[in-house]
Structures are given as C-alpha cells and as structure tokens.
Chain A
Amino acid sequence: MTKLFATTALLTALAMPAFAVQPAEGETLAENQTYTYWLLDAIKSLDPALNTDVEGSDALRSLFEGLMTESATGEMIPGMAESHEVSDDGLTYTFTLREATWSNGDPVTADDFVFAWQRVVTPETASEYAWYIELMNVDNATAIIAGEMTPDQLGVAALDDRTLQVTLSAPTPYFLNTLSHATTYPVPRAVVEEHGQAWTQPANIVGNGAYTLASHNLGVEIVFQKNPAYWDAENVVMETVRGVTVNDTNVALTRYQAGELDRVQIPAGQFPRLSEQFPDQAVSVPQGCSYAYVLNLGETGPEALKDQRVREAMALSLNREVIVDQVLQGGQRPAYSWTHWAIDGFAAPEDGMQDMPMDQRLERARELLAEAGYGPDNPVRLQLQYNTDESHRLLAIAAQQFWRPLGIQVELNNVEWAVHTDRLQSGNFEVARYAWCADYNEASTFLDWFRTDGYNSGKWSNAEYDQLLADARTAEDTAPLYQRAEEILAEEVPAVFVYHYAKVDMINPAIKGLPRENLLNTWYAKDLYRVAE
C-alpha cells in the first residue's frame, strides 16, 4: 500500500498554470531577449556526471532538467516528474514522468534517468560527484562506487517509459530536494553511447532543458538558444543566453559599464563606491558560504592549539567587524557561527562573544592566554597558511595585527592553491584559511563538516556534537540540535569563524527574474526576461 505524498510547495506549484516568471504589469518586454552573463573562467564540463563547479551547474540548468526543478524563489517544483508516490517505509519513490522530448525529438524516458544515474556511480566514469548519489541514499550506490557491485544493481529502475522507481537504503527526508542537482539530470543514452566523451560538444549534445547549446568556444563564450522542443517553451521569454568569460574582474566591470555584460561580480572593495554611484545596479545578497581559520588539533598540530584557552583567546580577539566593514566592504557579515546566518530555519546561539564589547573580549582573551602560560613576553608562535589571493592576504594581515598585541605571533605562509589544499587534507598546517559553501539550504550542510568523520581538516572531535548531528537526521525539530551544536563549536573553537559571504554584483536593471533571495544563488535562464529601457 503506498500513499500519495507531496509537499505543500509541490501542490501549490502544481496548481499554478505556468512556472516561469512572467513580466509584471506595466513592464514592456524588450525587442532583444538576450541575457549576457559573466564567467570568471572556462566551463570545465557540460556532462552532468562530470561537472563539479558552480558555473557548470548554471549552464546545465539551462540544457537539462531533472525530476525536480526550482521556482524563481528557490522552492522545489516538479520538473520532468509530473507526480510521485512514496511507500510507507519511505524507501521507495515512484515518479511519473511528463511527456517531454529531447532536443533531437526523441522522447525523454525513465530509462534515460536510469542510464544517467548508473553512469555517475560506474567507477570507469570517474565522476567526482559520485558521492552525491550516495548522499541521496540510492540503494547500493556505495558498493557500486567501490566496485563491489555492478552498476545495474543501483536502486533505480524504469518500470515503463514514463515510470521511474527509486529505492533508497534509508529513509531520506531531503531526498526530493536533491533532485534538482545537475548530477541527477537525465542524459540521452543513444547520444552518449554514440559519441562517448565528446557527446557534450556543440555538434553532438542533446538536452531536455529550456535551452540548447548553440556554441561553446572554451574559455571565450558559451551561447544557449531557446529550445522550442522544451515542454514549457511557451513560458520561456529569454531567447538567447550568453556566458562570456572574462578572467579579470576589473576588466569585466569595465565591459559591464560599456554595456557588453548584464551581470558581473564587483571586484573586492568597490561595492561602497558603486552602490553610491549606481544604487539600482549594485546588489549585495547573502551567499551560502562561511570563511574561517581552521586550527589543527590533530597529532600533527602545534601543542599550543591543543589548549582550548588559546583557541578561545584567538576567537575573542579577532575583530570581525573591522574585517567586514573596512576590508571586505561588500555586505558580508561577521561570523560567530559556522552555519551561514541566512540558512533556512537556523538560529544562531545567543549570549555569545558577539554581544561582548571589544575591550571586554580583549581583556578576557588576555586572561585566558595568561592562564595558559602565554603573553606578549612569551608569545604563542603559529603559522597561518593561505592560498594566493589578494583578499586572503589582506585578511591574514588583519588577523596577524589583531593577535600580535596579545602575544599570539602569527607568521604568514602564502602557498598556491593546490599546495594549500594538499596540506589541509594531509594535516600539514597549523592555522589555515578555509571556506565552505552550502550544498543545500539546511544547517547540516555546514555542521557536518566538523563531525569526527566529516571533512574536518583540523581533526577536532566531540562525541556530543556527533550525536547531535546524528539525531538531527531524523528529528522533527532540528533547530535546537543545530543551535546546541553551534554552542559547542563556540566553546571549543575548532576554528575561528571570520565572516559569512555575500554575493556582490552589478546587475543590469533591465534584466528581470534573477533570484535575489536564494542563498545558493541558483538561477534558471527560463525565468529571466529583459524589459525595454
């Protein structure tokens, strides 16, 4: 016996006639429906199984559509799946696919999903995102990735052309939310089998999304054209979408001002000037990433950091307000929690050091250091490692200056990116700059990092913390658990949290439909339109 299950968001969405954003009253559409956005670098892959980065995902959201998709405000709405049912034990999901075709006219079938998901976990595909299918708890994913089972044993099956059944290894409350991720997109079996690795090149690629790939000059420009075969094409307004690579943010800004681009990132430090000059264009919205100095508490870490008082003194004396207001200047916020402040349903613990005046914090930090046997005459000596980047350098210098008067002597150690990550992962560091970005809009995307078997480069470990996160997986109300977890982080200071990111952009006011309240900043070209100026 299965019961019909749908989230409220889903029901509301189903009741709506169209999903795309429509021009509001009084807006006139421009003749030329083209949106040109900025890319920092070349798009690495257009293969849903091999893509690893944000820019690639942005492109894939135009070219493909998963079982679920997102509304302009970030809610989950049906994509290729018209409806679905969940078994009572929460382990079996049965999706009914809508009638849709690939851009070459072939029907999109359940088998295309089966093929795509099996492909991701097949060891020979060498997908860096194979873990995502594990995160979804699709049955047997882990064993297949390990080569202990064959890909056809993955918990996904096509019952007929339009019915897809997914079997999970454990009830997964967030399962539906994972289905708009590029890794889960269907791929056309026939095309992939015909062209192999070259199937994503412009002449070969076939998608089921709102756009088709018109051209892709790697590292220069990628152009998407509206796909007339898309099931909801009548509600897609934007005709052409161009992603233009500009490797230098200052040149990108110049080209935005010359009208060549509709959206660029504002280079560090320029937001105050630009928001004064162009208040209708300079936009700062929260972005789901947190910046921290990770402290190495493992065997390879320095003795001094194993003393909690030293770590606490470091956290107390770092003046995050100065960093945010004087250095970054782009609407970022000081971080006193690892979870980004804007994460859905997250409430930061109260009565933390953020409420203490700075002089009291410094006073307390001095006391703690003195208790631990350190002070200006007998300083703690540490190495702070960061990867090459101007803003990381400025922040490291600021941190050095805040800590020095108390007797924490930090030597700066600048290394290139590959060396930095290698040392982080092998525990070969003392204090290291780190940032984490949310995969999904829920606090565990951050908090999982500090679990004993999480990424946790600093090797901090706390049994209560691990238990809280384990409990949160099945808890009705997770907020108190996450709040307690943050309290533990604040007490034990496995890392000094520095700031929560903001995305600081110049956006052409004629472009409508770009999400401004979506923490993960996912956007769909099909929701955009250009109004006449």
Chain B
Amino acid sequence: MFAFILRRLAVAIPTLLLLIVFSFVLMHLAPGGPFTGERALPPQVLANLEAQYGLNDPLWLQIWNYLVSVVIHFDFGPSFVYPDRTVNQLIANGFPVTLTYGGLSFLAAVILGVSLGVVAAIWHNSWVDYLAVGISIGAQVLPNFVMAPLLVLVFTLWYRWLPGGGWSFNDPSFWVMPVIALSTSYMASIARITRSSMLEVLGSNHIRTARAKGMPEHRVIIRHALKPAMLPVISYLGPVFVSMITGSVVIDIYFSTGGIGKAFVDSALNRDYAVMMGVTILVGALTILFNLIVDVLYAWIDPKIRY
C-alpha cells in the first residue's frame, strides 16, 4: 500500500510538469496577450512591459524560468492584470474562500444526497422513493445560474434575511446562499447514484444472508449494504470534491465571493498568464491528490482491491 502511494506520487511529478508545459504553450498560442487592450499601447511602452515580464524571451526560456521559479522558490510570479499583487497572494486570498464554501457544499451534498438515495432505495417504489427522486430531479434541472439570482431575490430582497453577496469568514450568513446554490445539483447526482447502487447491493447475496441470520434491518443497511453501495459514489466524489473546492465561476460571479473560480476564468480571458498558470497548477495538483485518495479509500472499502 505504502509503495503504491509512493509510486503514484512519483508519477504525479512528471504529470504536473507536462501539464505546466502544455498549458504554457497553449496559453501563448492564444491570440492577444495580457497587454492587448481597447487602445493599442505605444510600441515602446509595450516593449517595456514585455521586457519587465520576460515576454520577449524565447518560449523555451520563459518555460524554463517559470519552472525554476515555481519549483525552487515556490513563486508563481506577479499577476499581469493585478500588478499590486503576486499570484501567491491572489491564491492565498481566494482559495480559502472557495475552500470554505466548496467544502461546506461538498458536505451538504454528500450528507443530503446519500441520505436521500438510501431512503429512496429502502422504501423503493413507495411515495418516499417518488418524493426523493422528484426532489433530486428538481434539483438537477435547476441550474445554479438560475438558482443564484432567485436566491438573492427571495432571501435578500423579499425577506431581507441574508446579505446579497460578498464574503466574510466571521459571518456565516454570507456562506448560506453560495452553499445552497453550489451543492444542489451535486446533491441530486449523489442521491441518484446512491439510490441505484444501494438497490443493486440490497438485492445481492450477502444482504440476503445477513437478513436470513435475523440481523436487525438497520444493522443490515448500515453495516453491510452502505459500505459496498458507496463505491460508485466515492469514485464520483473524488473529482467532484476537487471541482467544488477549486471554485465555481457561477457562484463567484453571482455572489461576489472573491473566490478562485472567477479568478481562473478571468485570467484566461484577460490572458493573465501568471494567474492562469498558478490556478492550473493548483487544480492539477489537487486533482492528482484526490484521485490518489479515492484509490486508497477504494482499497479500504473493498477488500477485493489490493495494490
């Protein structure tokens, strides 16, 4: 097991390097640059800017310098579009926000989704099932860019319960709407996956055996059905967790949270090379890490899997 983890980590390093090089090249292939604006800059000013940011070096040298700065100094450089801040600062500001509302959304989605799915499976084809399926389909078809402005309308304008946007780590009232808007559709998917997986497990032999032994139903469900039923859910949760904590551009736009999701999309549109690379590496590293965690969890849950 330990050797497996080490092996995977060893593969992760060249993967990340490849990701950096590919993104870097693709980014520079895109038309325009960070300093292309409505008004063309005088050539000398543009030349000064490019010299300052090292953009007039050959591409291979730019990549090399970038790798050296990232790997040796863990310095992602200054932002091209927010010159007062470094990429490290931008990520340090935005990532905790995203991590907070993303993490809470993940918890909400998992707890509610799994409960809903389990309940639906146990009372299969009863009104409980139909209600649970109805809720999850409803949640799935309401996209978050529709739900977000609706939430603001209801909770901010009509009831005046919650602030319409912004962010504070000290005041959970700012977290409520982002969490609802982000978690709903994931909750629905988790509920559906849990339900079908649970149904399959409940029909399997070891459950019949457990019941035949006279085990109380709640122990059958919790001890014997839930664990194997979670396998497909967990493989779904790995990437979902990463995409939730690395932000949702929709949530960031509608609730002005200052999170990393909007920063990522903006950096691509503004050709803010440094921020774009920084967030790409962050998302890439987290994806690799959580895929590994999912694999480890698999082995722990499913005795048939051994690395």
Question: A218-B90, A254-B152, A255-B164 given as contacts; is B32 within 8 A of A422 (CB)?
Answer: yes
A419 at the interface (CB under 8 A from B): yes
Secondary structure of the A side of the interface?
A: mixed
* Inter-subunit contact A200/B84 (CB<8 Å): yes
Which residues of chain B are within 8 angstroms of A246 by Cβ–Cβ distance? 164-165, 256
Give the docked Cα–Cα distance between A145 and B45 (Å): 7
Interface size class of B (residues with CB under 8 A): 35 or more
Which residues of chain B are within 8 angstroms of A350 by Cβ–Cβ distance? none
- Rounded to whole Å, the gap between the CB of B175 and the closest CB of chain A is 13
* Inter-subunit contact A247/B156 (CB<8 Å): no
A302 at the interface (CB under 8 A from B): no
Give the docked Cα–Cα distance between A13 and B44 (Å): 39
B68 at the interface (CB under 8 A from A): no
Which residues of chain A are within 8 angstroms of B258 by Cβ–Cβ distance? 42, 217-220, 245
* Inter-subunit contact A44/B81 (CB<8 Å): yes
Which residue from chain B places its CB closest to the CB of A260 in the assembled complex? B164
Which residues of chain A are within 8 angstroms of B160 by Cβ–Cβ distance? 258
* Inter-subunit contact B37/A52 (CB<8 Å): yes
Which residue from chain B places its CB closest to the CB of A122 in the assembled complex? B48
Choose from A42, A131, A422 the contact partner of B42 (Cβ within 8 Å).
A131
Choose from B32, B40, B52 the contact partner of A418 (Cβ within 8 Å).
B32
A124 at the interface (CB under 8 A from B): yes
* Inter-subunit contact A218/B45 (CB<8 Å): no
B199 at the interface (CB under 8 A from A): no
A126 at the interface (CB under 8 A from B): yes
Give the docked Cα–Cα distance between A425 and B254 (Å): 33
* Inter-subunit contact B152/A251 (CB<8 Å): yes
Which residue from chain B places its CB closest to the CB of A216 in the assembled complex? B84
B36 at the interface (CB under 8 A from A): yes
Most buried by B among A200, A217, A244, A418: A418
B39 at the interface (CB under 8 A from A): yes
Which residue from chain A places its CB closest to the CB of B156 in the assembled complex? A258
Report B52-70 residues with CB < 8 Å from chain A CB.
52-53
* Inter-subunit contact B165/A418 (CB<8 Å): no
B172 at the interface (CB under 8 A from A): no
B163 at the interface (CB under 8 A from A): yes
* Inter-subunit contact A50/B84 (CB<8 Å): yes
Which residues of chain A are within 8 angstroms of B291 by Cβ–Cβ distance? none
* Inter-subunit contact A221/B83 (CB<8 Å): no
Give the docked Cα–Cα distance between A76 and B44 (Å): 31
* Inter-subunit contact B85/A251 (CB<8 Å): no
Choose from B40, B45, B153, B157 the contact partner of A130 (Cβ within 8 Å).
B45
* Inter-subunit contact A250/B149 (CB<8 Å): yes
Which residues of chain B are within 8 angstroms of A147 by Cβ–Cβ distance? 44, 48
Question: A45-B84, A247-B254 given as contacts; is B152 within 8 A of A255 (CB)?
Answer: yes
Most buried by A among B81, B149, B256, B262: B256
Question: A126-B49, A128-B35, A421-B36 given as contacts; is B85 within 8 A of A219 (CB)?
Answer: no
* Inter-subunit contact A254/B149 (CB<8 Å): yes
Which residues of chain B are within 8 angstroms of A46 by Cβ–Cβ distance? 84
* Inter-subunit contact B39/A422 (CB<8 Å): no
- Rounded to whole Å, the gap between the CB of A75 and the closest CB of chain B is 26
A-B CB contact pairs (8 Å), 6 listed: A42-B82, A221-B166, A247-B253, A251-B148, A436-B38, A455-B39
* Inter-subunit contact A220/B45 (CB<8 Å): no
Q: Which residues of B contact A (CB under 8 A)?
A: 30-33, 35-42, 44-45, 48-49, 51-53, 78, 81-86, 90, 93-94, 148-149, 152-153, 156-157, 160, 163-167, 252-254, 256-258, 262-263, 269-271
Interface size class of A (residues with CB under 8 A): 35 or more
A83 at the interface (CB under 8 A from B): no
Q: Beta-carbon contacts of A241-282 to B below 8 Å, as 1s and 0s?
A: 000111110110011011010000000000000000000000
- Rounded to whole Å, the gap between the CB of B218 and the closest CB of chain A is 45
Which residue from chain B places its CB closest to the CB of A259 in the assembled complex? B160
* Inter-subunit contact A421/B38 (CB<8 Å): yes
A146 at the interface (CB under 8 A from B): yes
A123 at the interface (CB under 8 A from B): yes
Choose from B33, B41, B52, B148 the contact partner of A131 (Cβ within 8 Å).
B41
* Inter-subunit contact B84/A47 (CB<8 Å): yes
Give the docked Cα–Cα distance between A311 and B90 (Å): 48
Question: A130-B48, A254-B157, A255-B152 given as contacts; is B32 within 8 A of A248 (CB)?
Answer: no
Top 5 nearest A-B pairs (CB, nearest first) are A418-B32, A422-B32, A126-B52, A255-B164, A220-B258
- Rounded to whole Å, the gap between the CB of A244 and the closest CB of chain B is 7
* Inter-subunit contact B82/A258 (CB<8 Å): no
Report A96-127 residues with CB < 8 Å from chain B CB.
123-124, 126-127
Report A197-256 residues with CB < 8 Å from chain B CB.
197-198, 200-201, 217-221, 244-248, 250-251, 254-255
Give the docked Cα–Cα distance between A460 and B265 (Å): 36
Most buried by A among B37, B44, B167: B44
* Inter-subunit contact A128/B253 (CB<8 Å): no
Give the docked Cα–Cα distance between A142 and B48 (Å): 13
Report A118-156 residues with CB < 8 Å from chain B CB.
123-124, 126-128, 130-131, 134, 142, 145-147
Choose from A42, A128, A245, A417 the contact partner of B41 (Cβ within 8 Å).
A128
